[in-house]
Structure 1
Amino acid sequence: MFPYTNPYDKHIYISLSFNLIIMKTIMKKEYGYLIASIGFYIGAIFTFFSCQDNKI
């Protein structure tokens, strides 16, 4: 199902789901889209660098 077979990559999926939960809770408030988009991009950058560290 997932392209990665390394068990260390599970924290990437956990962090992505955690980002989605934060987005859903923040979007209910005012200025939610701005804060959620910034937080989502920061989470995506962290997950990208964690993927790069696993490949090395």
Structure 2
Amino acid sequence: SADYFGHKVHIDLNEKLVMYGVTHICAIHGFSNKIFAFITSPIKNCIEIYAHLYMYSV
């Protein structure tokens, strides 16, 4: 069991549309399998992922 919500977070990137300038990133809770954060970014940018997805989810 998890100690708190977000204890086991999976971050998934979908770069299939990267040639069109779109990258989808979502955060999935590992125990309940619920998507609780989702962003769309023009490029794969680690700073944007951290600021808008990771900090929001934890």
Q: Which has the higher contact order (CA 8 A, sep 6+)?
A: 1
TM-score, normalised relative to structure 1:
0.31
Q: By percentage of residues, which structure has more strand?
A: 2
Structure of greater Rg:
1
TM-score, normalised relative to structure 2:
0.31
Q: By percentage of residues, which structure has more helix?
A: 1
